[in-house]
Amino acid sequence: MVLKRWLVGDPLKSTQAAHQRLSKTIALAIFSSNAISSVAYATEEILLVLVLAGTAAIAWSIPVSFAILFLIVILTISYRQIIYEYPDGGGAYVVARNNFGEQPALIGAAALMIDYVLTVAVSVAAGIAALTSAVPSLFEYRVALGLAAIIFMVVINLRGVRESGTFFAFPTYFGVGIIGIMVGIGSVQTFFGQAASLPPINPTTVEELTLFLILRTFAAGCTAVTGMEVVSNSVKAFRPPESRNASATMLHMSLILTALFMGITFLAYHAGIQPKTDETVISQLARLTFGTGALYYSLQIGTMLLLVLAANSAFAAFPQLASILARDGYMPRQMATFGDRLVFSNGIVVLGVIACFLLILFHGDTHALIPLYAIGVFISFTLSQAGMVRQWITKKGSHWRAKLIVNGVGAVTTGIALIIIATTKFTQGAWIVFLLISILVSMFRSIRSHYKAVAEQISLTRDHRPPLPRRNIVVIPINGVNKAVIRAVDYARSRPGEIHAVMVDVDPQSTARIQIQWAQWGCGVNLIALPSPYRSVLKSLLDYIEKILEKEPDIWVTVVIPEILPAHWWQSILHNQRALLLKTALLFTERVILTDVPFHLKR
Amino acid sequence: MVLKRWLVGDPLKSTQAAHQRLSKTIALAIFSSNAISSVAYATEEILLVLVLAGTAAIAWSIPVSFAILFLIVILTISYRQIIYEYPDGGGAYVVARNNFGEQPALIGAAALMIDYVLTVAVSVAAGIAALTSAVPSLFEYRVALGLAAIIFMVVINLRGVRESGTFFAFPTYFGVGIIGIMVGIGSVQTFFGQAASLPPINPTTVEELTLFLILRTFAAGCTAVTGMEVVSNSVKAFRPPESRNASATMLHMSLILTALFMGITFLAYHAGIQPKTDETVISQLARLTFGTGALYYSLQIGTMLLLVLAANSAFAAFPQLASILARDGYMPRQMATFGDRLVFSNGIVVLGVIACFLLILFHGDTHALIPLYAIGVFISFTLSQAGMVRQWITKKGSHWRAKLIVNGVGAVTTGIALIIIATTKFTQGAWIVFLLISILVSMFRSIRSHYKAVAEQISLTRDHRPPLPRRNIVVIPINGVNKAVIRAVDYARSRPGEIHAVMVDVDPQSTARIQIQWAQWGCGVNLIALPSPYRSVLKSLLDYIEKILEKEPDIWVTVVIPEILPAHWWQSILHNQRALLLKTALLFTERVILTDVPFHLKR
């Protein structure tokens, strides 16, 4: 408890909730780090595919990056409309539920959840890769470093949304700033023809430069737009006027993303950079632009901070989505519980645990995780845009035709991108995502149908009448006379009614001794000695209780168990074995209620 | 439960206990298999050491075996005296406790326990080795086969002592008989000069034939006498007159052991057999004597059965010792519980589990286990004999001087053997045994001191008075009105007294709704809505209970928790999280008693 308070801070009042809203400056840091940080790996993913077709093919990175620029523009415009239409947060789940019904909504929710988990895993892995590019000796500790980063983020997020915002704002702006400086200096150098470039290498051509390969390149580059939906899911976290602030933030984010992504791709092409296994593209570019000095190391640190903090946006979005699903009955209810720091604590912890698991499973390798990444995002993009199309058609409203066209173009564009990504990456791991989505959807459905079944079973209808009063016989099984037993007797007689102390007669001598002691200590309670030909104390007791239940089919039986609780947990093996057996045997007996009366040992 | 009945049989009455005693014929099978089975590996262990000093050194196996014969004679005579003095079973623990006090007794007990566990592991490993000598293709499954054998024995022993006796008598006699036939035929062949023998091989001489090596040989051969104490520990299991029957059984056992051990050692020497890695000595000898035919295979099966069943004697002795220790407070009490088949079920299971663990740890390899084996036995031999010496000196009685000399010779002989074994095997693994003994002894002591502390804390003295009657306020936390809650209210009011239903007001709307429903269903119980500025349902409840406790420092508070029990265990994650937190928080609050009122879901 003390540890928890120290780590996450004192509880906050419900009325403080409104004050936890974010200013635009901090919101930009929190929600844009996800999208912007993808510049750290998007260009590299593009080059990694193109290089398969030889050095000449690398020129294709320019048209591909323009295609992605087009995507960014489309997404920015169409998401601004969603932000205004869904001021409570319009994730794919909400939009699809309102316009298409349950099944598409659940698919959207599952896609988003997988996407959030992968955001954490991919961003942390890439952030640690930035660190190990600069300090190769840390390479062998990358999984441990990644886990430490995730645990740190869980703690920070459990502290609550505003504090973590302040905490993350500086590093995000530092990362964006230093990458911006590199792009700026690099552009000036290139413009004046002073830019350094690498000697051309001729890698072995592995594949033909086919249309399929170019589409694969486009699919790889689509990782650049991951995270663009984050702002629209989190409109509620902004200060009023929420929608306007969110929309402005979204625009700023898109501009920064475009500048950095296009800049890096151009510079990398002009410098003739090719992907290497032991160094990231951005690290090579920084070495060429800055030389390996203080600025280079600042850039690596900035990239790392940006990436590790990008994971943080998922820590805001995932618990929010989980809580919406929980409120609708598709997730365990405790996901909707607001913690005492005004955050959905359970969702934060669950996300942290799954991301740690993924990081260990994929050995902290970015390239292994990335093929799984973009699918979920584009499923949710497409569902949101298509949902908006349907909404404009049914709801209409002012300028609905223009808005329909905007979202229509968005839906078609993201839909085509989704098909391209799914087709070209299917065998590389995308199939896992489709499998996981179907598993998650059926999990959502079975949780919901369970809660529905429970509600039907426990709900009171008009046919029911309040129950009539019933008797309650208390049974206290004892095996001796001591303070623990007397405490149980004292408790049992604190409410009037019939009490039977029962003992099992295993050894006549000790039975006689207990009966004598009982006369003094038993508080006047009746003591019954049960015969036990088979020495099974348990069986004799169960038979006795069975008989009481049979005789009066309408009473309660309370079994009051005197239990000795040791001072240390490991001592429990020396105690209460019989109490445990008794409890297990009686747990499913209707009308029998168990009550432990613990006697706490001091040593 | 049904599975348990089918495996271990129906419960037996206490009065049937006397009938479970063993006849001499069956007792010989049960208790002698341990000692006699050691002929399967004792000769081999002797040869394994001697062969280090070259072929010529093997001649030393004859004098060494005579030294061991001397040990057998001494042990037989001195243990007969213990059998008469301790008709209730005189293990090292009992004898040392009566004559030396606690510490030596616990050392004896620890040594015996380790010895029993090793008996199971070594015998099963050697038994499986006999099988795999004959059928080499089974070699890779030896650990699995060993585990299956141990589990089989656990089940058989849980069925009870007489049935397992009958079950084991035939294979034991079959094993003894077939080895006897081999020794007989081999001796006749040797006498008439017709015995086959192996061509002499000259192994590399690794060590000088020093006195130390000969002592090591003797130590290795001492494994032949392991198990000789079993009869004296189990006098109670014999039919009356117990001591006389046990004594006669002991004599028969020693005669069989001597004949087989000396016979095998002589024949192996005459045939020029040297230990091989892939075949046991006894298997080589059998091939020479019988040829590789039906008789050879019978002998291997007989040896295997004898060895695997030898482990069974530990399944009678270990639980008996554990129950004596438990009765004296040195082991958890449930070790002294007679199961419903009149055996100490817990001890049998514990022994089985530890032996399986050892078998896995040592990959089922006899030679790896054997250095640990003899130490425990000889510690218990020495303690028993020395204890008897002290007993004769203090107690005297008829012929005490003669008896003193017998046990004195026994004590000195086994003491010297113990020193030799400990010295020569210390680095090979004997140190583990000394370490384990000291760990076990301190475990015994801390268990005892815990039980003593418990007894002091719960015992009632004359200063105490029976408690005065106290009030009991029932608190029912609710978060809605449904069948589960109404069931809890129905239970709570089944005994007269004050009842408060409490709810935490998190959302004013739902609070109002619940209050309206309560008017209809609440059975007239008072409903209190607690404010909760921090949304922590738990904290509000705890504060409320705290207040009640403070106001009346002498009452009980019963918290009746309506709990929904799902139909399937994996559904529990969807329920009762708050109930669990509440229970954890209240477990250590004095005067607060928790009562779950389960509502069982059907689907």
Q: What value does the mean pLDDT take over residues B227-252?
A: 86
Give the integer Cα–Cα distance in Å for B162 and B67: 37
Listing from the earlier edge strand, what are the strands of the sheet with B556-565?
A526-531, A499-505, A472-477, A556-565, A592-600, B592-600, B556-565, B472-477, B499-505, B526-531
pLDDT, chain B, mean:
86
Q: What value does the mean pLDDT take over residues B203-231?
A: 85
A193 — pLDDT class (breaks 50, 70, 90):
confident
Q: Are B79 and B231 in contact (CB under 8 A)?
A: yes
Q: What percentage of chain A carries pLDDT values higher than 90?
A: 38
pLDDT at residue number B162: 53
Q: What percentage of chain A carries pLDDT values higher than 70?
A: 93
Could you give the domains of chain A? 19-90+119-375 (1.20.1740.10), 472-600 (3.40.50)
B267 — pLDDT class (breaks 50, 70, 90):
very high
Test B458 with A484 for CB contact under 8 angstroms.
yes
A61: tokens are 């990175």
B279 — pLDDT class (breaks 50, 70, 90):
confident
Residue found under tokens 């229509």: A408
Strands B526-531 and A556-565: unpaired
Radius of gyration of chain A (CA): 32
A349 touching B, CB under 8 A? no
Instruction: Name, of A345-349, A452-456, A578-582, the range with top average pLDDT.
Output: A452-456
Test A340 with B535 for CB contact under 8 angstroms.
yes
DSSP per-residue codes, A325-341: HHHTTSS-GGGG---TT
Helices (H) and strands (E) in chain A, counts: 21, 5
B17 — pLDDT class (breaks 50, 70, 90):
low
Shortest alpha-carbon distance between residue B274 and chain A (Å)? 50
* Selected residue with higher pLDDT from A354 and B159: A354
Give the integer Cα–Cα distance in Å for A538 and A578: 8
How many angstroms separate the most distant Cα atoms in chain A?
A: 107
Q: What value does the mean pLDDT take over residues B2-29?
A: 66
CB atoms within 10 A of CB B475: 21
DSSP per-residue codes, A507-563: SHHHHHHHHHHHHHHSTT-EEEEEE-TT--HHHHHHHHHHHHHHH-TT-EEEEEEEE
pLDDT at residue number B299: 92
Q: Which helix (H) or strand (E) holds B563?
A: strand B556-565
Is the pLDDT at A303 greater than 70? The verdict is: yes
The amino acid that residue A95 corresponds to is: V
Q: What value does the mean pLDDT take over residues A158-176?
A: 75
Q: Are A583 and A593 in contact (CB under 8 A)?
A: no
* Selected residue with higher pLDDT from B296 and B8: B296
B102 touching A, CB under 8 A? no
Give the integer Cα–Cα distance in Å for A579 and B413: 50
* Selected residue with higher pLDDT from A174 and B580: A174
Burial of A514 (0-12, 13-18, 19+ CB in 10 A): buried
Q: Which candidate, A556, A456, A579, places its Cα nearest to that of A498?
A: A556
B327 touching A, CB under 8 A? no
* Selected residue with higher pLDDT from A564 and B343: A564
State the Cα torsion B183-B187-B189-B190 to the nearest 10°.
Answer: 130
- Interval B82-141: pLDDT, tens: 888 888 776 788 889 989 989 999 999 999 999 999 999 999 999 998 888 888 888 888
Instruction: Name, of A173-187, A272-286, B26-40, B126-140, the range with top average pLDDT.
Output: A173-187
A548 touching B, CB under 8 A? no
- Interval B70-90: pLDDT, tens: 999 999 998 888 888 888 776
A324: tokens are 């919406």
Test B467 with A523 for CB contact under 8 angstroms.
yes
Please name the residues in contact with B442: beta carbons below 8 A apart, sequence gap of 6 or more: none
Test B14 with A534 for CB contact under 8 angstroms.
yes
* Selected residue with higher pLDDT from B183 and B314: B183
Give the integer Cα–Cα distance in Å for B499 and B204: 90
Residues in chain B within 8 Å Cβ distance of A471: 494
Strands B556-565 and B472-477: parallel
Is the pLDDT at A519 greater than 60? The verdict is: yes
pLDDT at residue number B22: 79
pLDDT at residue number B8: 61
Q: What value does the mean pLDDT take over residues B423-431?
A: 84
Is the pLDDT at A166 greater than 80? The verdict is: no
Least confident stretch, A172-186, B332-346, B564-578: B332-346
Test A534 with B601 for CB contact under 8 angstroms.
no
Give the integer Cα–Cα distance in Å for B149 and B141: 12
Test A534 with B11 for CB contact under 8 angstroms.
yes
Q: Which candidate, B595, B510, B602, places its Cα nearest to that of A597?
A: B595
Test A470 with B494 for CB contact under 8 angstroms.
yes
Q: Map residue A54 onto helix, strand or coil.
A: coil
Q: Are A300 and A124 in contact (CB under 8 A)?
A: no
> φ and ψ at A500, to 5 degrees?
-120, 120
Least confident stretch, A218-222, A226-230, A376-380, B577-581: B577-581
Q: Map residue A399 onto helix, strand or coil.
A: coil
pLDDT at residue number B256: 95
Residue found under tokens 């529905």: A452
Give the integer Cα–Cα distance in Å for B458 and A486: 10
pLDDT at residue number A150: 92
Q: What value does the mean pLDDT take over residues A221-229?
A: 88
Q: What value does the mean pLDDT take over residues B178-192?
A: 91
Give the integer Cα–Cα distance in Å for B566 and B603: 7
Test A536 with B600 for CB contact under 8 angstroms.
no
- Interval B171-184: pLDDT, tens: 889 999 999 999 99
Q: What value does the mean pLDDT take over residues A456-477?
A: 88
Q: What value does the mean pLDDT take over residues A128-134?
A: 88
- Interval A339-358: pLDDT, tens: 655 567 788 888 999 999 98
pLDDT at residue number A12: 60
Radius of gyration of chain B (CA): 33
DSSP state of B561: E
The CA-based angle B302-B304-B308, given to 5 degrees, is: 120
pTM: 0.72
Shortest alpha-carbon distance between residue B287 and chain A (Å)? 52
Give the integer Cα–Cα distance in Å for A382 and A420: 13
> For an interface test with B, which of A521, A534, A537 has the most B Cβ atoms less than 10 Å from its Cβ?
A534
pLDDT at residue number B163: 54
Q: Which candidate, A485, A68, A29, places its Cα nearest to that of A261?
A: A68
Shortest alpha-carbon distance between residue A248 and chain B (Å)? 33
- Interval A24-65: pLDDT, tens: 888 888 788 889 999 999 999 999 889 888 888 888 999 999
* Selected residue with higher pLDDT from B337 and A250: A250
pLDDT at residue number A9: 63
Q: Map residue A93 onto helix, strand or coil.
A: helix
Q: Are B120 and B351 in contact (CB under 8 A)?
A: yes
Give the integer Cα–Cα distance in Å for A555 and A548: 9
- Interval B437-446: pLDDT, tens: 999 999 999 9
pLDDT at residue number A265: 94
Is the pLDDT at A3 greater than 70? The verdict is: no
Taking only residues 423 to 452 of chain A, the set having a beta carbon closer than 8 angstroms to any beta carbon of chain B reads 447, 450-451
Q: What percentage of chain B carries pLDDT values higher than 90?
A: 38
Is the pLDDT at B7 greater than 90? The verdict is: no
Strands B472-477 and A556-565: unpaired
- Closest-CA residue in chain A for B330? A574
Q: How many CB contacts within 8 angstroms connect chain A with chain B?
A: 171
Q: What value does the mean pLDDT take over residues A245-269?
A: 93
ipTM of the complex: 0.74
pLDDT at residue number B236: 80
Residues A488-493: contacts with CB within 8 Å, 24+ apart? A488/A560, A488/A561, A488/A562, A488/A597, A489/A522, A489/A523, A489/A525, A490/A523, A490/B467, A490/B470, A491/A560, A491/A595, A491/A597, A491/B472, A491/B556, A491/B593, A492/A525, A492/A558, A492/A560, A492/A597, A493/A523, A493/A525, A493/B469
Give the integer Cα–Cα distance in Å for B249 and B259: 16
Test A594 with B593 for CB contact under 8 angstroms.
no
pLDDT at residue number B25: 85
B352 — pLDDT class (breaks 50, 70, 90):
very high
pLDDT at residue number B13: 58
- Interval B50-65: pLDDT, tens: 988 888 888 899 999 9
Give the integer Cα–Cα distance in Å for A294 and A181: 13
Is the pLDDT at A266 greater than 90? The verdict is: yes
pLDDT at residue number B257: 94
pLDDT, chain A, mean:
86
CB atoms within 10 A of CB A103: 12
Is the pLDDT at A1 greater than 70? The verdict is: no
Least confident stretch, A414-418, B231-235, B251-255, B350-354: B231-235
- Interval A196-217: pLDDT, tens: 777 766 666 777 788 888 998 9
Residues in chain B within 8 Å Cβ distance of A486: 460, 466-467
How many CA atoms are closer than 13 Å to the CA of A524, on its beta-carbon side? 8
DSSP state of B137: G
* Selected residue with higher pLDDT from B536 and A410: A410
B570 touching A, CB under 8 A? no
Q: What value does the mean pLDDT take over residues B572-578?
A: 76
Give the integer Cα–Cα distance in Å for A550 and B28: 51
A457 touching B, CB under 8 A? yes
A572 touching B, CB under 8 A? no
- Closest-CA residue in chain A for B595? A595
Q: Are B76 and B254 in contact (CB under 8 A)?
A: yes
B528 — pLDDT class (breaks 50, 70, 90):
very high
Q: Which candidate, A45, A51, A86, places its Cα nearest to that of A68?
A: A45
